[in-house]
């Protein structure tokens, strides 16, 4: 299976980095794994429209072709990112804006988007939101699942949320990593 990990965290020693390492370590060795580390790649998240950059032409943007090729190659997407201020990192949102574009990821149909991508996804997010507030907060893992990936044809989408990361003990952090390892082994 072709597995593409899309990773978004600026700190190489973060808990998200530990999650990335855990996922990599526990994926079956026969999988072909590629990683897009948006911060390491210094991905430019800014979407530009002007006389030479038209929205209708985004699917042909040569700068984004390597990312489109990776998405087309992948059978399994894995997103790893923190949730900040109820949203994904801006660099990841910019990646989605610039790569998951009409004509490539979906086509507009009479009843809404018609997905053009295949495969499944696993979204792993971390945040500090107390569980009591989760039902009332805008969670971009859910937005990514329901309003981006599914309309683009990617399903099923599994979600793993690690909450209250800042307040977890080392034991709790290890327990969460073990849960993630078990899921990675089943991919």
pLDDT at 54: 72
CATH architecture group of domain 2-185: 3-Layer(aba) Sandwich (3.40)
| Sheet (strand 120-126) strand order | 32-37, 2-7, 76-82, 120-126, 157-162
Asked if pLDDT for residue 4 goes beyond 70, the answer is yes
Greatest CA separation for the chain: 55
> Alpha-carbon distance 130 to 137, whole Å?
10
pLDDT at 66: 98
> Alpha-carbon distance 56 to 163, whole Å?
39
pLDDT digit string, tens, across residues 48-60: 888 777 777 888 8
Nearest CA to 134 among 89, 78, 83, 80? Answer: 83
pLDDT at 134: 64
Nearest CA to 58 among 14, 89, 100, 27? Answer: 100
Residue ranges of domains in the chain: 2-185
pLDDT at 171: 97
> Alpha-carbon distance 77 to 48, whole Å?
26
pLDDT at 131: 67
pLDDT digit string, tens, across residues 30-45: 999 999 999 999 999 9
pTM across the whole model: 0.94
> Alpha-carbon distance 137 to 144, whole Å?
14
Q: What confidence category does residue 138 fall into, taking pLDDT thresholds of 50, 70 and 90?
A: low
pLDDT digit string, tens, across residues 110-137: 999 999 999 999 999 999 877 676 666 6
Burial 119-150 (b: 16+ CB within 10 A, else e): bbbbbbbbbebeeeeeeeeebbbbbbbeebbb
Q: What is the mean pLDDT of residues 9-14?
A: 97
Distance set, CA 108 to CA 50, 58, 116, 152 (Å) = 22, 14, 10, 10
Q: What confidence category does residue 105 fall into, taking pLDDT thresholds of 50, 70 and 90?
A: very high
pLDDT at 87: 87
């Amino acid at each position: 299976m072709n597995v593409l990990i899309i990773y978004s965290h600026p700190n190489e020693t973060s808990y998200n980095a530990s999650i990335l390492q855990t996922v990599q370590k526990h994926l079956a060795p026969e999988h072909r794994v590629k990683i897009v580390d948006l911060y390491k790649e210094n991905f430019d998240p800014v979407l530009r429209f002007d006389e030479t950059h038209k929205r209708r032409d985004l699917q042909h943007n040569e700068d984004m072709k390597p990312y489109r090729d990776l998405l087309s190659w992948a059978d399994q997407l894995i997103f790893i990112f923190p949730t900040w201020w109820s949203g994904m990192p801006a660099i990841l949102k910019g990646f989605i804006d610039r790569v998951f574009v009409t004509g490539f990821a979906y086509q507009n149909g009479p009843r809404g988007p018609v997905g053009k991508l295949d495969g499944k996804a696993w979204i792993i997010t971390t945040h500090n939101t107390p569980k009591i507030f989760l039902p009332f907060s805008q969670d971009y893992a859910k937005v990514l699942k329901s309003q981006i990936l599914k309309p683009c044809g990617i399903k099923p989408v599994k979600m793993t949320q690690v909450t209250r990361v800042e307040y977890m003990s080392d034991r709790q952090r290890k327990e969460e990593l073990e849960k993630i390892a078990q899921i990675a082994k089943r991919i």
